[in-house]
Amino acid sequence: MPDPIQAIKEWCKSKLTQDVVNAMDQGVMSAVPLYKEFAQEGLMEFVKPTEGAAALPNLTAAVKILAAYSGDFGNIVTLNCLGAMLLGLFGDEAQKKISEEMLRGEKLFCFSLTEPEAGSDIQNLKTSAIRQGDQWFINGRKLFATGAADADYILLAVRSNPDLAINRGMSLFLVPRETPGLTISPMNKIASNGFPSCEILLDNAPVKNDALVGGQDAGWGVIAFTGAMERLLVAAGCVGLCSRVVHYVYEYAQQRMISGKPLYEIQWVNHCLSDLAVRIQAADLMVKDAVEKVSSGANPAIEICGAKAFASELQQGVIMSAMKIMGGRAYLKDHPVERWMREGLLSLYAGGTNELQKNLIARKLPGLMAQQDY
Ligand SMILES: Cc1cc2nc3c(=O)[nH]c(=O)nc-3n(C[C@H](O)[C@H](O)[C@H](O)COP(=O)(O)OP(=O)(O)OC[C@H]3O[C@@H](n4cnc5c(N)ncnc54)[C@H](O)[C@@H]3O)c2cc1C
């Protein structure tokens, strides 16, 4: 069997051409058919997200490549991997089957937590689920549900017990997109419109009790796990995109002549690229360290939040440096830098904003400092 990472790279190189990637970015082309092709060629099987922590080394390696090629494509694969992972770990037998279908590209997943008044402030979640016999009726409004318009199933976070704090009164339902009472509308994003994020209105949407994932009022633990995995994958994606940008700018700086010499020979340019490559190496090691700790059964919350915040902020710096080094040409759509700049911003919010990561690190700072007491 060929090296799967090499196979994913080759696939991306041949399918995710600049024209295709730009068409997805602008929403002229959907990411869905390509995702199905990718999955049907068995490339999702390589990452086996249904195995949970054991899948992380391959999964993070794959996400680094995918994010480097296309925001849309990186997002659709990452989201479906996360979905397959959490249904594989927390789902009942029927839901585990759906996770296998997702890996074969037969079913698509969406995860919907965010609401107008509950983004960072998840305590304020308002979408309600009220039980009547064997059915629940869901009412509320969700925002930013990426992939909802194309999904077969939407994993909805709802308040199932309004009398309890959110960590004891939240449930997750795996809701078929065709359920009556759902109105799904794409939101107009600055990038990655080939895989739209959507508003979902829920008007008395009926859902069967067996659509619960992880049990009644037990959604918080699943959300916490999913959030941590998402942050780790966001960090991996940032490492991938950062490395792609540096390769691109390095090549450009070798070719571009300034006063008869390659741009790369100007000292601030080669120092800047060297500095970025060193920091990307640091971010990559942070991701690998967190993966190793999760794989060995630990819960490295600080390491994951730190890797996500560090890698996503590094990504903004890498892209701004690319804009500066390449001069005015970076501003043109002839080069992918402007798209990377738009796509790259998502990492600041995905998996929770960096301010929230830093809140968590601050709460646990003495523990981190104790590890650094030299
Ligand atoms: C393109 C895109 C795709 C997305 N996809 C999904 C998806 O598929 N499913 C989903 O459920 N959600 C999704 N989201 C939503 C994303 O998770 C939220 O945007 C994110 O959690 C932040 O919430 P918010 O946008 O409401 O910001 P707000 O919560 O309004 O935050 C505004 C600002 O206040 C700061 N802030 C808030 N609270 C604190 C605090 N306690 N301490 C310090 N600072 C604070 C934030 O850091 C931020 O700078 C997506 C978002 C985007 C942009």
What is the structure's pLDDT at 1? 59
119 CA to centre of ligand 1 in angstroms: 5
pLDDT one-digit tens code per residue, 144-175: 999 999 999 999 999 999 999 999 999 999 99
What is the structure's pLDDT at 4? 87
Residue 191 Cα: closest atom of ligand 1: 1
- Asked whether the predicted pLDDT for residue 50 surpasses 90, the reply is no
What are the angstrom distances between the C-alpha of 24 and each of 21, 36, 147, 220, 319? 5, 15, 13, 34, 20
96 CA to centre of ligand 1 in angstroms: 29
Burial code of 59-96, b = ≥16 C-beta within 10 A, e = fewer? bbbbbbbbbbbbbbbbbbbbbbbbbbbbbbbbbeeebe
Residue 185 host element (H or E): strand 182-186
Average pLDDT over residues 45-49: 85
Residue 109 host element (H or E): strand 109-112
Complex-level ipTM beyond the 0.90 threshold:
yes
pLDDT one-digit tens code per residue, 91-148: 999 999 999 999 999 999 999 999 999 999 999 999 999 999 999 999 999 999 999 9
Cβ-proximal residues to 129 (8 Å cutoff; 6+ apart), any chain: 136, 137, 138, 158, 159, 160, 171, 173, 207
The CATH number for 221-365, chosen from 3.30.70.2740, 1.20.140.10, 3.30.750.200, 2.40.110.10, is: 1.20.140.10
pLDDT band at 191 (very low <50, low <70, confident <90, very high): very high
Q: Is 120 close to ligand 1, i.e. is its CB under 6 Å away?
A: yes
Average pLDDT over residues 180-202: 98
What is the structure's pLDDT at 139? 98
Going from N- to C-terminal start, the domains of the chain cover 4-107, 110-215, 221-365
Tokens of 233: 């994958």
CA distance 141 to 65: 34
Q: What is the CATH number that goes with domain 110-215? A: 2.40.110.10
Question: Which DSSP symbol is given to 160?
Answer: S
The CATH number for 4-107, chosen from 1.10.540, 3.30.9, 1.10.10, 1.20.1530, is: 1.10.540
Q: Are 107 and 147 in contact (CB under 8 A)?
A: no
Q: Which of 74, 120, 113, 49 is nearest to 234 (CA)?
A: 74
Mean pLDDT, the chain, as a whole number?
A: 96
pLDDT band at 45 (very low <50, low <70, confident <90, very high): confident
What is the structure's pLDDT at 12? 97
- Asked whether the predicted pLDDT for residue 8 surpasses 80, the reply is yes
Tokens of 11: 């696939």
Closest residue CA from atom 48 of ligand 1: 353
Q: Which of 42, 177, 162 is nearest to 107 (CA)?
A: 177
Asked if the domains 4-107 and 110-215 are classified in one and the same CATH topology, the answer is no
Question: Which DSSP symbol is given to 210?
Answer: G
Percentage of the chain lying above the pLDDT 90 cut = 96
